[in-house]
Amino acid sequence: MATNGHSHNDSYTNYVAYRDPKIQGQSRIGHLDLQASTIQPLSFLSGAPLSDLYEVIEIGEAQIKPLGEPFPLSSIQLLAPISGRDVLAVGKNYAEHAKEFNSSGYDSSDKTDQPTHPVIFTKRSTSIIAHGEFIFPHPGFTETVDYEGEIGVILGKSGYRVSEKDAWDYVWGYTIINDVTARERQRDHKQFYIGKSPDTFCPMGPIAVPASKLPKTLRVETTVNGEKRQAATTDDLIFSIPYLVKTLSEGQTIQPGDVIATGTPAGVGFGQKPPVWLLPGDVVDVSVTGLGVLSNTIAEPTSKNPTIARVATTTHIPTSNLDKTCGGVSLTTVGSKKLYYRHAGVSTGSPIIFIHGLGGSSEYYTPLISALGLEKTHSLHLLDIEGHGLSPTSAASTVTIDSYASDFSNLAEQLNIKGATVIAHSMGCLVAMTLALKNSALVSNLVLIGPPPSPVPEAGRTGSIARAATVRSSGMAAVVDAVITAGTSAKSKTDNPVAIAAVRMSLLGQDPEGYAKGCTALAGASEALPVSQIKAKTLIITGEEDKVSPPQICEKYAGEIKGTKVHVLPQVGHWHTFEDVNGVAKAKACDNPLAVSPVVEGRSSALGLILRATHADDDVVQTAASTNHPEKTPRQRREITPTPNCAEVEPPTTRAGQQLASPTLSPSIELEPSYQLSPESFISDIPTRQTYSTDLNSSHRVGVLSTASNGSVRYEPRSSQWRAVLANTHLSTGTPSLEDNEVSNLSFGFPFTTAASPSGDDLLSILPPMQQCEYLKEKYFSVFSPLFHILHDPTFQSEYESFVEDPSSVPVSWLAILFILLSLAVTTLEGNDPVLRDLARGSDANNNIRVLSKRYREASLKCLAKQGVFWGKHNAHCLQALVLVVYAMGHCQEPSWVLLGMTYHVAIAMGYHIDPDEFSLTVIQAEERRRCWAGVIMLYTIQNTILGNPDPSWRITNDVKLPADVNDADITVMGVQEPTPGPTQMSYLLFKFRLYDLAAKICKETFKSYPPSTTTIQNLDQQIHFAQQEWDGRYLADTTFEGLPTHHAVHLHILHAYSHQLYLLLHRPFFAQSILGLDIPNQSQIRCIASAEALLDIHQMMFEIESFKPYMWYTDGLGSFHAFHAAAVLAVALLMPIYKPQYQRFKKLLDETLGRFEASSGRSKICEKASRILRFMLSTSSPNQASISSPFPTPESHHDVSKESLNSEHMNMFAERLQPQQWLGPASMAWTEWDSLMANA
C-alpha cells in the first residue's frame, strides 16, 4: 500500500539507508518522513526490496514503490546514504575560506587566496560514517580535529569529458558531508589525503534528495555545540558544480553514485582567533536546505575505533547458498559454521537425528516422519548438510565425510544429545557410520537407507569428480536427468510421476557449489570404514533396483555389523522415501531382536520396532551428574525452534495430551498422573519407577531435582538422598518416594489460615475480559518486562495462547503469573485510559488503579494458595509468580519482607541456589532459573539495605552465574547466541543487580559509627562513575540518547537517577557535617549539589515527557522519593551562605519540584508527604534572601527575615535528618519526625 501520500508512480522527496535488524542487519533503502520520524521501506515495482542508493539511481524513481508499513526511525540504525567508494572532494572552493586557509599556516597547497584550478583530493571510503555515529578523535595521531560542513553532490550516470553545459544532466541529487580534518597532518604531508581520510572523518547523511526536489540555490550552515560557525550558499562557490563535473570527467570516467564534496565555507576551527579544535563531547551539526541536519559527536579518546570491527567483518571469500536465507536468517551456529537446523516433534521424546544424502535436504524425511507419526512421539533433529538445502558453504571450507560427521557431532554436543537413533540416506549413511564409530555414546540405533559401498569404488569416485566439474560449469540442470535415470526404478519412471518430480525438485533446488562439494566428499571416501566396530543396533533398507546400494552391498554390511538386518523394497530405486514411503515405514525384519509389537498399518515394522525401543525407558529423577536423555527436561511438549529471531514454545502437555498436572481450573476434569510434566526434570512412562545416580565419585555431588506427578519440584541434597544410597539394593522398595511424603488434598488457603482455597471458576471470574486481558498483558511486556526480566517472553506467550484457547485448562501456578502481570500492568494506565474505565467504575482514576492492582495481586496469591506452594507444592511457575508479587508489592510501598523470606526459601527448596549447569537442563530452563535467583537476591539485597543490614553474609554461598546478557530470541536449544551491540532485554536488570550490590557496600561504610576514610569515599565514588560510563557505553553504543527506544531511554534515566541517589548517600555524612561554619564548599558538598540537580532534572523529564507516561508509577514512587532526597539537599543549601550566588537557581528548581509533587499527591503517598515537608522547608526564610528577590516567593516570604531564619539549633535538626540511614527508601524515612518538626516550628 502507498503511504505518506505517495503512489508507486510518484518519486520520493528523499531516500535513507538503514540496517534491517530482522534480516541479518542487511542494508535497505526507505523514505524518511521528517515530520513523523518514520521510515517507509521501498522496493522495486517487482516487490524486491531496495538495498542501496546505487539501485535507486540505476532503476529510476518511477520504478520504485512502498513496501509494507512505515516503522519508527528510532527502531533501526541509520547508514550513510551511499558508501563503498572514495569521496571526490574539493578544497578551497569558497573565497573567504580560501583566504582564511591561506593565512592559517595549515595550507600546504598553492598559497593563493583564489585558486586558478579546483583543488581535488579524495576521502577514503573507510572514513564514511552515518548521521548520529561518533567521530573517533584518533588520539596520538592528531590534536587538531576540525570540521568542514559541505554540500555533497551525487552523480546519476557515467560520463567521460562531460561539458559544463551538459553537466547538470549527470547530477542525480545531494546529501550533506562533514569533511572532518586532522589539520597538522594535512599541513605536514603537503597534500590533503592523510589529513582527510582517517577513520570516521567523513560523516554523511542523514538523507539523499534528488536534485529535482530541491531549489537551485542551497544554503549550508554548521554549528558546534549550538554555536553558529559557518554559513554560505552554492552561489558563493568559486568553481560551480557543473565546472567540477567537467573537471573530474576530463581524464576519467565518472560513475553513477560518485559523490563530490563541493568545499566548505569560512568559519572552520583554524579560522577562529585563536584556533578552536574539536574536543570529546562536542556536537557538530551541518544543515543544508531540504537535506535536514547531519549531527555527529566527537567520541572520548578512550573509546574504540569502530571502523576496525567494521572492516574485520568484511570478507572477499564467497559463500555459496546464502541467498536462500536472506543472508543467514534462521541459520544456527553449529560448531564454527552457520547451518540450517530445525527441531520438530516432542522435545521430551527420545531423539532421532536425520542425515540426508547427496542432492537432498532434511525435507527428504518429511514423508517418512508423517507416515510413522514421529512428530507425536520423538524429538526430531533435522540438519541440512553444508552446502545443501538451506545451509551455505564458504569457498574456503573443504568438505569431507568426516567434516559432515563432525557437524552432526557438534550439533549433538550443543544439544546434549545422547543415545539417539540416527536415520540416514545414501551418502548420509557414510556420515552416519562415521558418526557411530567416532561417537558411540551418541548413536544407539542406526537406520541406513541405501548405504553406498565403503570404500567408494574407483569408478564411482571418478564419476563424482566429473559430476562436480559439470555442475560448477553448467549448473544443476546439466546433471538432473542423468541422476533421475540412474537413481529411480522403472516402475517409478512409468507409474509415479510425483516421485520423479520430487527427485527433480530436490536436485534443482541445490546450490551447484554445495552439490559439487558433496560430490567431492563422496569421491574422497577412498578408505574402508571399520564397520565391524559399530556397536549400534542397525537396520538397513534398500531398493531392489538401487544401483548405488544394491542388496548385495547391504548384505555385506549386515555380515560385518553385528546383528544387522536388511529389508529390500521391491521395484524401488535409490530415492526410497520419494518412491515408496510406506514401504520404508513398513520395513520388515521378522526376527529382529527388538520386536515389541509396534504396527504400521497392521504389519510389524522393524523401523518402528527400533524407534519404539528408544522411547520406552526414561528416568523419573534427574541427577545433577546425569547426561542421559537430555531432551527430556523441558516442560512437556515445549517445542523450541532455534532461530536467531525467536524461540517458539508449545503449551505444556502430557503424553496423553493433558495439561501440566498442577491443579487445574476445571472442576469437572480429573487428571490421570502426568508422567512428563515437570519443568525441570523428566519422568518415565511408568510413574512408580525411579532411578538415581549412585556414582558417589561424580564431581557433581550437589543433589537431585525430584518431581512429583503433580508437577511439584523439590531439590534434595546428595547428603539427604538415602534413596540414592539404597538404590538397586533389597532395601530400596521400602524407601518412601517424594509423592509418599506429600500431604494430600490440602484445601487450606494462604499460609496460617484455614480458609478454603477458591475454586477454579472463582479465580477465572476475577480475570478481566479477554480483550482487556490482552491489552494489559502487552502493557506489562512493553513496560515492566524489560525492567525486571524474570520470564522468558516467548515461553510465556506460547503458554498464553494455550490459555486463550481454553482458560480452564491452565495450571493455577501459571495463572498466578498472569494475575501478577495484570496487577503490574494496571499501574501503567493513565487516568483517561478506556480500559481503566471499563474495568473500574469509580470516579477517582488513581483509586481505581490502586483497587484493580490490589485485586489482581491478591488473586495471584489465591492461585498460589490453591497450588499449595507454601506447603511444599511448588514449581517454576510458582517461584516466578512469587518473585513478581514481591516486586509488585515493593512498587506499591507495601510491606513484603515476610513474603520475600518465604520466596527465598521456596527458591532454595527447589535448588535455585545451585547453578543450573549442575543439572541436565535445557538452555532456556537454565536461564529461567538464573533469572529467578537473580531477582530473589536483588529483592533481598534491597530489603536488607533498607532495613539497615547491608551485610551480604546472609546469602547462600553457592555460586550461581548471573543470567546471560542477551535477548530472549538469542536463547535457543542450540545455546546462547551473541547479542547484537547495544542493550538487551536483560541489560537493565543486570545493571541494577550490580548497582544494588554497590549500594550495599556504600551503606556498609556510611552506617558505621565512625566516618569512612577519604580513600574509601573516593574509591566508591569512582565505582559509581565507572558504572555510569558502562551504562552510557552500552545504551549509546550505536545511537544518540534521542535515538533510543522509549523503554531504553527510561532505563537509562532510572539507572542514572539511582546512581545520583548513591552519590548522595555516600557523600551526605560530610555534607551534613559541614552545614554550619563552612566558607568554601568541600568536594562532598559539590558532589551532592551536582547530583541533587541531576536528580531533579531526571524527575522533571520523567514527569513531563509524554512518551514516559506509562512509567508514572516509577515517577510517582521511587523516582519522587529520590527527587525528594535531592530537594532536601538543595533546600538546606538555600540556608547556607556559601550558596548565596546559586540561591535563585536552587529556589526555582525547588518550586518546580514542589509543583510536581503537589500535582501527583492524589495518586502518590510519597508525593503527598514530600510536598508538605518541602513546602515547610521553603517557607523558612534564608539569610540569602536579604539581598536577593526571588521570582518564586512562598506565601511566607514577606515575613521579617531576622525572625524566621533558622537558628543553629534548627540547622542541626535538619542535619540530623540528612543522615543517609533515613534516605534509603520510603520505608526508612522518619515521616513522623518531620511531622513533629513542622508542628513545633
| DSSP secondary structure string for all residues of 217-269 | S-EEEEEETTEEEEEEEGGGBSS-HHHHHHHHHSSS-B-TT-EEE----S--G
The crossing angle, in degrees rounded to 10, of helices 876-891 and 897-909 is: 160
Cell numbers 518430480: residue: 501
Single-letter code of the amino acid located at 5: G
Distance CA 511, CA 970 (A): 28
Strands 537-543 and 565-569 turn out to be parallel
How many H helices and E strands in the chain?
40, 39
End-to-end Cα distance, the chain: 69
Do the Cβ atoms of 969 and 647 come closer than 8 Å? yes
Distance CA 30, CA 16 (A): 5
pLDDT at 733: 39
Do the Cβ atoms of 269 and 275 come closer than 8 Å? yes
Do the Cβ atoms of 533 and 488 come closer than 8 Å? no
| Rg, the chain, Cα only | 36
SS3 of residue 635 by DSSP: coil
- What is the 8-class DSSP label of residue 456? P
Question: Could you tell me which residues are beta bridge partners of residue 975?
Answer: 972
Cell of 374: 514421529
Cβ neighbours for 10, distance < 8 A, ≥ 6 positions apart? none
- What sign for the dihedral angle of Cα 383, 385, 390, 392? positive
Single-letter code of the amino acid located at 983: P
Picking from 1156, 1192, 1154, the residue whose alpha carbon sits closest to that of residue 1174 is: 1154
Do the Cβ atoms of 522 and 357 come closer than 8 Å? no
- What sign for the dihedral angle of Cα 78, 81, 87, 88? negative
Distance CA 794, CA 228 (A): 50
| Mean pLDDT, contiguous 10-residue spans, the chain (1241 residues) | 39 86 80 88 91 94 90 88 95 83 64 83 95 94 95 96 96 97 86 91 96 94 94 94 96 96 93 91 95 94 89 85 88 93 89 96 95 91 97 94 96 92 97 96 95 93 92 94 94 94 96 96 95 94 95 94 93 96 75 33 52 45 34 32 34 32 34 27 28 35 61 58 40 40 42 62 90 92 88 90 88 93 91 86 84 91 86 86 90 80 88 85 88 88 67 57 88 73 85 83 75 80 87 76 80 91 78 52 78 92 89 87 88 78 85 92 86 83 51 37 43 57 72 70 59
- The CA-atom distances, in angstroms, between 19 and each of 37, 306, 323, 717, 1066 are 16, 16, 17, 51, 43
Cell of 566: 536388511
Do the Cβ atoms of 1219 and 1072 come closer than 8 Å? yes
| Phi/psi of residue 246, nearest 5 degrees | -60, -45
Do the Cβ atoms of 421 and 353 come closer than 8 Å? yes
Picking from 1175, 1196, 1171, the residue whose alpha carbon sits closest to that of residue 1121 is: 1171
**One-character DSSP codes across 735-769:** SPPHHHHSPPS--B-STT--PBPPPHHHHHHHSPP
Domains of the chain: 16-78 (no CATH), 83-312 (3.90.850.10), 330-455+528-613 (3.40.50.1820), 1070-1240 (no CATH)
Tabulate helix, strand, coil % of the chain (nearest 5): 45, 15, 40
Residues 396/398/404/408 CA torsion (nearest 10 deg)? -40
Distance CA 823, CA 773 (A): 11
Cell of 75: 527502531
Locate all alpha helices (DSSP H) within 950-1082, ordered by sequence: 987-1006, 1014-1035, 1046-1073
Do the Cβ atoms of 931 and 976 come closer than 8 Å? no
- The CA-atom distances, in angstroms, between 1107 and each of 805, 1047, 1155 are 33, 9, 20
Picking from 1122, 1121, 1200, the residue whose alpha carbon sits closest to that of residue 1165 is: 1121
E strand map for 35-127? 38-44, 64-66, 71-72, 77-79, 87-91, 119-123
| Phi/psi of residue 417, nearest 5 degrees | -90, 135
Cell of 165: 553545459
Distance CA 831, CA 833 (A): 6
Cβ neighbours for 979, distance < 8 A, ≥ 6 positions apart? 965, 966, 967, 970
Containing 406, the helix (H) or strand (E) segment is helix 401-415
SS3 of residue 846 by DSSP: helix
Q: How many other C-beta atoms can be found within 10 angstroms of the C-beta atom of residue 117?
A: 8
- What is the 8-class DSSP label of residue 136? P
Cell of 330: 534462521
- The CA-atom distances, in angstroms, between 926 and each of 379, 556, 633, 923 are 20, 47, 11, 5
Distance CA 497, CA 579 (A): 10
Question: Could you tell me which residues are beta bridge partners of residue 287?
Answer: 221, 293
Distance CA 367, CA 372 (A): 9
**One-character DSSP codes across 298-309:** EPPTTS--HHHH
- What sign for the dihedral angle of Cα 5, 11, 17, 21? positive
Picking from 470, 480, 446, the residue whose alpha carbon sits closest to that of residue 575 is: 480
CB burial string 922-935: b at 16+ within 10 A, e below = bbbbbbbbbbbbbb
Cell numbers 508437577: residue: 711
1149: left (phi over 0), alpha (psi -120 to 50) or beta: alpha
